[in-house]
Structure 1
Amino acid sequence: MTLYILAAVLSAVLMGTIGAIAVYANVSAETVTFYRLFIGALLMAAFLFVTGQKHRIFTWPGSKVLVTGGFLAGFVVFYVMAMGYTSMANAIMLLYLAPVTASVAAHFFMGERLSGASAALIVVALFGFAMMLEFNFNLSGRGQEVLGLFYALCAMVCYAAFILTNRLIHERVHVLTRSGYQMLAGALCMLPLMPQQSESIGASQWGWLVAAGVVPGFLAIMLAVVALRVLPAATFGTLAYLEPITVVGLGWVLFGQSLSTLQLAGSVLIIASGVMQAAVSGHRDRIEGAKTEALAG
């Protein structure tokens, strides 16, 4: 069990490196997104081929998987764009309101009713983000930051849509097939938007682009798949909140993006709300599973 927990921890930490990698790559958000997804898809195909699972490469995943790939590209590119105008902490904390948004949307449109505890935790998360903004909602003279928050909001909406549409994919589509095709579809969505600047990318920048495909692209996803084979979804969901902690930490250590006491408290509220939401969901799933077994018996 310890090894699977470690895999989940590493997955979250590696996923959180995309922001720093994008800054060091110093190319357009579209370029970073394309290479993260395209290289990740190639490595996934290579992994499946080497491990004797090439039939998964040639399995048609269905149109829903391709749609989720578009949402995947959307949340990555908007997130990278957001960091050009606001702090990494603001961008990742707004992005991590996506599970909240997905829960609300599922409540109204997918029949997944929110409990009182879940609704209260959503309010806590929103209050935490208000603390991240230091309760300063005056937009005057804050054009750059507002633009960054707008891009982060777009990333959050795409991430929430990615979460919801993934629930609609049939279980027959293996998770590795799904992940590979989602990355490939996302890369193809980015291809027409990429600036024609390949000739101007230097050797060190190519190194960072490859790192984007290997680290937060392929390795993070593979470790998540390994962890999810054993860990309950609630446990994995809790450990996933190490990603925003990683992003905030890297922003502080590498780029001097320190947080005020109020912002730090807001970050803690958002993360604590997400962790508790995962625990509540896991408890509810266990109760429903027990009821199903009782009825079947």
Structure 2
Amino acid sequence: MLRLTQASGFAFAVLGAVCFSFKAIFVKLAYRYGVDAETLLALRMGYALPFFIAMGISVSRREPRPLSHRDLGMLGVLGLTGYYLASYLDFLGLHYITAALERLILFIYPTLVVILSAVFLKKPLARALYLPMGLCYLGIALAVGHDLDPAHAGSNVLLGCALVFGSTLSYALYLMLSGEEVKTLGATRVAAFASTIACLLSLAQFAVMRPLANLVQPWQVHALGLAMALVSTVLPIWLIAVAMRRIGAGPTSMIGTLGPVLTILFGWIFLGESLGTIQLVGATLVIAGVLLIGRKKA
């Protein structure tokens, strides 16, 4: 029975990594139909909103502790930084860079958590983290250099990298701030409420910036928006939560390192993105750096 539980936990973790890896693919495919970032984000969040509301209601019934005004304020901040702003900047960046490069930049968030914790929480930055952080940024530099090659690049690659880096920074800030809330409210409750707030913010942004008629899109755009909501948002959150309960956070995180490799592979298969040796070397360095950071922090 224990082996079956562990095997299913590993399966859920792998499937969660696969689902997360498809998000950038869905976005890039939707952009081919001329949809803008604000409309696409509204579709994704609008389709996901009922599921997050249901998740929040379900977990609140199991967790009788009421939310204080401070809790609501912090959940608002977490929804703003971790799910709304990070998603919006990511969608904007994907206009300019490949799905593979986007995933690699997003994957360096552990390095930013370490740096932000050192700056704002006064946690010492251990010397042992210098090498793995250096590996991460060297890997990103190689991947960016690959995409700057005129044979592979689109326009404004550096702008796209800056936007996705901003997304990564926003998500790292969310992780740094969410620690205390996760301890008191639970990870699922925080994710459900912060995601619900992010969905509402995304819909409000669309209402301010775009006419309602923009929601009239080809069925393919709506299908991709629904796929992003279910396959790359709601489902992987649940899969990763189950995997962590069955095999622990460490093994789940290690399996998550498959993400950049999977996105590079999916980008090559579904988007026709180039698959170069330098790009793969860069991905290897980033993954190695993140794994080493995980070991040092543990």
Q: For this structure pair, what is the TM-score category when the shorter chain's length is used for normalisation?
A: 0.7 to 0.9
CA RMSD of aligned residues (A): 2.7
For 1:101, the equivalent position in structure 2 comes to 112
Write the letter of the residue equivalent to 1:80: F
Aligned-pair CA distance for 1:14: 0.5
Partner of 1:258: 274
User: Is 2:59–2:188's contact at 8 Å kept on the other side of the alignment?
Assistant: no
Partner of 1:206: 222
Amino acid at match of 2:171: Y
- 1:62 to partner: Cα distance: 2.5
* Alignment counterpart, residue 136 of structure 2, candidates 125, 128, 133: 125
Report if aligned partners of 2:104, 2:260 keep a CA contact under 8 Å in 1.
Answer: yes
**In 2 relative to 1, CA 135–15 (structure 1 residues): closer, same or farther, beyond 3 Å?**
closer
- Is residue 64 of structure 1 aligned with residue 74 of structure 2? yes
Supply the distance in 2 between the matched residues of 1:136 and 1:219 (Cα, whole angstroms): 31
Q: Does residue 275 of structure 2 align to residue 270 of structure 1? A: no
Q: What SS does structure 1 have at the residue aligned with 2:183?
A: coil
CA–CA distance in structure 2, aligned partners of residues 137 and 14 of structure 1: 28
- Partners of 2:185 and 2:106 lie apart in 1 by 27
Q: What residue ranges of structure 2 are gaps of 5+ in the alignment?
A: 1-5
TM-score by length of 2: 0.84
Shift of 1:85: 0.7
Among all aligned residue pairs of Structure 1 and Structure 2, give the percentage whose two residues are the same amino acid: 19
Mapped partners of 1:25, 1:85: distance in 2:
14
Alignment of 1:135-174 (within 5 A): 144-174=156-186
Query: Which of the numbers 7, 15, 21 marks the counterpart of 1:16?
Result: 21
Relative distance call for 1:145 and 1:59 in structure 2 (3 A) is: same
Distance in 1, matches of 2:107 and 2:64, equals 31
Instruction: Give 1:36's aligned amino acid.
Output: R
Deviation at 1:263, TM superposition (A): 1.9
Please give the secondary structure, in 2, of the residue aligned with 1:133: helix
2:97 and 2:154 in contact (8 A); partners too: no
Q: Secondary structure at the match of 2:26?
A: helix
> Partner of 1:175 in structure 2?
187
Query: Is 1:46 aligned to 2:57, yes or no?
Result: no
Aligned residue identity for 1:221? I
Give the Å deviation of 1:271: 0.9
Q: Could you tell me whether the CA contact under 8 Å between 1:69 and 1:183 is conserved in 2?
A: yes
Q: How far did residue 96 of structure 1 move?
A: 1.5
Measure the CA separation in 1 of the matches of 2:30 and 2:185: 34
Corresponding residue for 1:230?
Answer: 246
More helix by share: 2
Give the partner amino acid of 1:117. Answer: A
- 8 Å contact from structure 1 (residues 235, 278) kept in 2: no
* The 10-residue stretch of structure 1 (211-220 or 37-46) with the greater mean CA deviation from structure 2: 37-46
Q: 1:239 aligns with which of 255, 258, 263?
A: 255
Partner of 1:2: 7
1:29 Cα deviation (Å)?
1.9
Cα distance change on mapping 1:199 and 1:118 into 2, 3 Å = closer
Structure 1: tracts of 5 or more residues without a match: 283-297
